[in-house]
Amino acid sequence: MRFSQVQVGQLRKHIAGRGDGSMMKMKTVYITGCDRGLGLALVQSFLNEGFAVFAGSYLPEWPELQELKKEVGEQLHILSLDVTDANSVQLAADEITRVTPKLDILINNAAIYTDQDGDIMETLDFTAIRNMYETNTLGPLRVTQSILPLLLQGESKLLVNISSEAGSITDCKRVKEYGYTMSKAALNMQSVLLQNKLKQFGVKVFAIHPGYVKSYMLGKFNTEATVEAQDSARGIVQQLLQPHLIDGPIFINYEGHLLNW
């Protein structure tokens, strides 16, 4: 995703209007999986809202984050992050802690989607399924645990897991895609468990379906998808920046519609 001159101009306008640009005066968000697609679009949307953004990067060969960094400077912090590696996750958390004493929003966005065609009657790639669990389910849990002390010091205290309608047990009509659907269903359960535990500290947990986003989730750009990454990101940010009165974990799509668990 390349940035248009209009988008760059909008970012410059926000930067110019920040006054002294003090990190202490800015809200903060930590987003994983930011090199391209939805993650990159979320970075841009939060920058537009005046947030200081900590962006996890796993694919350094993609230049967009670095190009954006040149435009916005210290408002964007790029972190090397592999959510499947506990040491990488902790190093990223340590780096954030050196910059800010609090975190307002955590968005666990990093995910993979492989082996879509595995069939119980034919062949299942259990290694691919295990890798999806490692990234899509355990990755968010690692990141959440690593940064929780800062999140508890934040003002907003929003914990966001980018899930999927594919993780809905109630509405499932699929007959395959075992790794992705099961890993997202497990992520939804993780979201409920976290809400049950962290509610007492004022944390609100969201599981959000971003829509069928045009992205590289399948290994190459998916032209059959129906939702632009920028539209999904803007919708997600809009949902997160408005008050939610639901008492408990929230499973919604990027437009704010409630989904079945």
Q: Is 180 a catalytic residue?
A: yes
Instruction: Write out the two tokens for 202.
Output: 């004022």
How high is the pLDDT of residue 23? Answer: 60
Compute the average pLDDT of residues 136-154. Answer: 99
Confidence of residue 146 (pLDDT cuts 50, 70, 90): very high
93-119 pLDDT, tens digit each:
999 999 999 999 999 999 999 978 888
What count of Cα atoms within 13 Å lies in the side-chain half-sphere of residue 261?
12
Please report the pLDDT score of residue 118 as a whole number.
87
CA 70 distance to own-chain centroid? 22
Q: What is the model's pLDDT at position 16?
A: 47
pLDDT of residue 241: 96
- The pLDDT tens digits of the residues spanning 184-237 come to 999 999 999 999 999 999 999 999 999 999 988 877 788 889 999 999 999 999
Residue 259 has pLDDT above 70, yes or no: yes
Instruction: Look at residue 218 in the predicted model and tell me its pLDDT.
Output: 76
| Residue range 174-180: mean pLDDT, rounded | 95
Which whole-number Å values give the CA distances from 196 to 125, 163, 242, 248, in the listed order? 34, 18, 22, 8
Which entry of 58, 113, 180, 254 is annotated as an active-site residue?
A: 180
**In 10 A of CB 137, how many CB atoms?**
22
pLDDT tens-digit series, residues 59-96: 989 999 999 999 999 999 999 999 999 999 999 999 99
- Report the pLDDT averaged over residues 245-252: 82
Residue 145 burial class via C-beta count within 10 angstroms: exposed 0-12, middle 13-18, buried 19 and up: middle
- The owner of tokens 């007492």 is 200
- Summarised one tens digit per residue, pLDDT across range 21-61 is 456 689 999 999 999 999 999 999 999 999 999 999 999 89
**Amino acid, res. 42:** L
pLDDT, position 7: 52
- Two structure tokens written together for 239: 């949902």
Is 184 known to be catalytic? yes
Please, which pLDDT band fits residue 243 given cuts at 50, 70 and 90? Answer: confident
130 within 8 A of 112, measured Cβ to Cβ: no
Q: Which pLDDT value is given to residue 11? A: 55
> Which residues, other chains included, contact 211 with Cβ-Cβ below 8 Å and sequence gap of 6+?
226, 227, 231, 232, 235, 253, 254, 255
Between CA 256 and CA 167 the distance in angstroms is 17
pTM of the model: 0.90
Residues 6+ apart with CB under 8 A from 167: 181, 183, 184, 185, 186, 187, 188, 207
pLDDT value at position 18?
47
3-state helix, strand, coil in the chain (%, to 5): 45, 15, 40
Domains and CATH numbers, the chain: 5-253 (3.40.50.720)
The residue from 184, 204, 214, 254 that is catalytic is 184
Give strand ranges (E) for the chain. Answer: 28-31, 52-57, 76-80, 105-108, 158-162, 204-209, 250-253
Structure tokens at 210: 């971003």
pLDDT at 197: 98
Nearest residue to 34 via CA among 66, 71, 8, 75: 66
- Amino acid identity at 56: G
CA dihedral 124, 126, 131, 136 (to 10 degrees): 60
